[in-house]
Structure 1
Amino acid sequence: MKEKPAVVVMLTGTDWLRVLKPDADPRNVLVCFPPGGGSVTAYRPLARHFGTGTAVFAVQYPGRQDRLGDKPIPDLIELADEIAQDLRRWPAGTRPVLFGHSMGATLAFETARRLEAAARPLAHLFVSGRPAPAFEEPGRLHLASDDALIADLERLANDPEPVGILRTEPALAEMILPAVRSDYQAVETYRYQPGEPLGTPITALVSTADPTTSLAQAGDWRNHTSADFETATFPGAHFYLDLPENQPAIAALITRRLSHG
């Protein structure tokens, strides 16, 4: 019988972790990593689709929402160091499941490397909407104008109209864009350092019309685990994760994969 992890939902929130869905006796503890420019609210709709036995947490990056006063960190390695340190405070028997989308996928991977190096095994790593770590982002939008940043956010959005408000509401742009720029810098300056593959199973999720990640690029994640690997495809563009019609299937995939391994 599969050994159950220690109960961690009794822990209160920290600077880095927020509880999205508590569970009194979790078999699985899912930790979600938001995309660049995102926050924990990116995963609230998805969290509602998990049933009893799964607790859902999300990482809150500095420089947004209730951490607006904290200086953003424009470095994925530094972010991974901080998050892994926070996760290591959980009981040693906890084997969290990490899920990251876009920037969050690379960040979840680097966090997983640090946890494994500290002899803190994981149950699974789900990476979504992001090429494998050896991919080097060619753009330098973090050095570009605010208009260029907003244009790229519009390019990736399911509905670009709400993003366009940043052009007409300077106070809102002043609040949001520094964290966005910092995250773009973190992604565009990240350089993968080769190492041993993870011992954690990886599932790579990709959408059918994502301009940032092809199915072949998603498949390259297989090179980063010595355990099981699979890909899963969903309809939509880069932010397919936000589409209500996809969320039950994504939650079902995660639940099903964990029940088998």
Structure 2
Amino acid sequence: MKRPYGSGSDPTGWLRSYHRPPAGAPTLVVFPHAGGSATGYYSLSAVLSDSAEVLNVQYPGRQDRLGERCIEDIGEMADRVVEALLPRAHRPLALFGHSLGSIVAYEVALRLERLHPDRAPIGVIVSGRPAAAIHLSRGLSRMEDEELASSIFDLAGTPPELLADKDLMAAVLPSLRADFKAAESYRGGVGSRLACPLYAYSGAQDFNVPREGLLRWSEHTAAAFTARFFEGGHFYLQSSEHEVARAIADDLRAFAAASLVGSGR
């Protein structure tokens, strides 16, 4: 496992910083997909390390947090991330979430705007999920282990040899199941809107995210909205990583410029 650059600076265990940030750069908080981990976004963090201080979220119940209780509620996840972020949110802050991470990021942004307006994000990027107001439930959390493992393979995000490793699956499936339960029980987003810009990314061939569902994220912001489509399926972040990183860097600059205009500076 990669040793975080700022491993001693987050007593909560929720945040990982793998690369020293450039002076004056904004902070980008990255929220993984269901079953995902902070190290799964290490490569993206590396590519973005010249543009931002990247903080990768580590949900409990996996890797170095394997012994901790998995969280089965999006609101509780968001509350814990807000607590972890507050001592560190001194730079301009932006959020990026993929799949499950999209709704966690969105809920974190809502809480920061409502409860801590001085730490409110300058922008949010959601990825790989229809709008927050759209309830999704494929019943994945109720599947037997073998069926659940097969569903991961269907998403093309897990190599077949890993699925055949029974010990690994025994370690991974509990957190994956908990994440799916959190996603399936989520009923947020209806009528709620962010004050900051919200951009939505998707793989052009992602059958889990219909175009119209992605575009409905526009209902969740009172500011600018943009949709971007990249070559690939649900895990387009892997196949189009450098293109995605360039888009994120460009969008961070756009968020920063808009926040300066909004503040009158």
- TM norm structure 1: 0.89
Q: Does 1:28 align with 2:26?
A: yes
Would the aligned equivalents of 2:18 and 2:45 in 1 still touch at CA under 8 Å?
A: yes
Structure 1 residue identity aligned to 2:163: G
Helix, strand or coil: the match of 2:106?
A: helix
Quote the sequence identity (%): 34
Aligned to 1:229: 225
By how many angstroms is 1:255 displaced? 1.1
By how many angstroms is 1:196 displaced? 3.8
- Give the 3 Å change call, closer, same or farther, for CA 53–232 of structure 1 in structure 2: closer
Structure 1 residue identity aligned to 2:215: G
By how many angstroms is 1:53 displaced? 4.3
Q: 2:93 is matched with which residue: 93, 96, 118?
A: 96
Kindly provide the CA deviation profile for residues 128-169 of structure 1, in whole angstroms up to 9, marking residues without a partner as x. 00010111113222111001111110110246423432xxx3
**C-alpha distance in 2 between matches for 1:131 and 1:183:** 17
**C-alpha distance in 1 between matches for 2:213 and 2:232:** 17
Q: 2:64 is matched with which residue: 60, 63, 66?
A: 66
**C-alpha distance in 1 between matches for 2:148 and 2:74:** 19
Aligned to 2:171: 175
Helix, strand or coil: the match of 1:48?
A: helix
Aligned to 1:128: 127
By how many angstroms is 1:21 displaced? 2.2
Q: Does 1:242 align with 2:241?
A: no
Would the aligned equivalents of 1:142 and 1:182 in 2 still touch at CA under 8 Å?
A: yes
Kindly provide the CA deviation profile for residues 207-260 of structure 1, in whole angstroms up to 9, marking residues without a partner as x. 1111210221111000101111100000111011112xx111111111112223
Q: Does 1:259 align with 2:258?
A: no
Kindly provide the CA deviation profile for residues 156-198 of structure 1, in whole angstroms up to 9, marking residues without a partner as x. 0246423432xxx332222111001100101111111534410
**C-alpha distance in 2 between matches for 1:191 and 1:84:** 19
Aligned to 2:3: none
Kindly provide the CA deviation profile for residues 52-101 of structure 1, in whole angstroms up to 9, marking residues without a partner as x. 3411110000000000010100111111111111112225x433110000
Aligned to 1:13: 10
Aligned residues: 247
- Give the 3 Å change call, closer, same or farther, for CA 38–158 of structure 1 in structure 2: closer
**C-alpha distance in 1 between matches for 2:157 and 2:166:** 22
Displacement over 4 Å in runs of 4+: none
Kindly provide the CA deviation profile for residues 91-124 of structure 1, in whole angstroms up to 9, marking residues without a partner as x. 5x43311000000001100111111112121121
Q: CA RMSD in A?
A: 1.8
Q: Does 1:55 align with 2:49?
A: no
Helix, strand or coil: the match of 2:17?
A: strand
**C-alpha distance in 2 between matches for 1:159 and 1:115:** 33
- Give the 3 Å change call, closer, same or farther, for CA 186–10 of structure 1 in structure 2: closer
Structure 2 residue identity aligned to 1:115: L
- TM norm structure 2: 0.88
Q: 1:112 is matched with which residue: 109, 113, 124?
A: 109
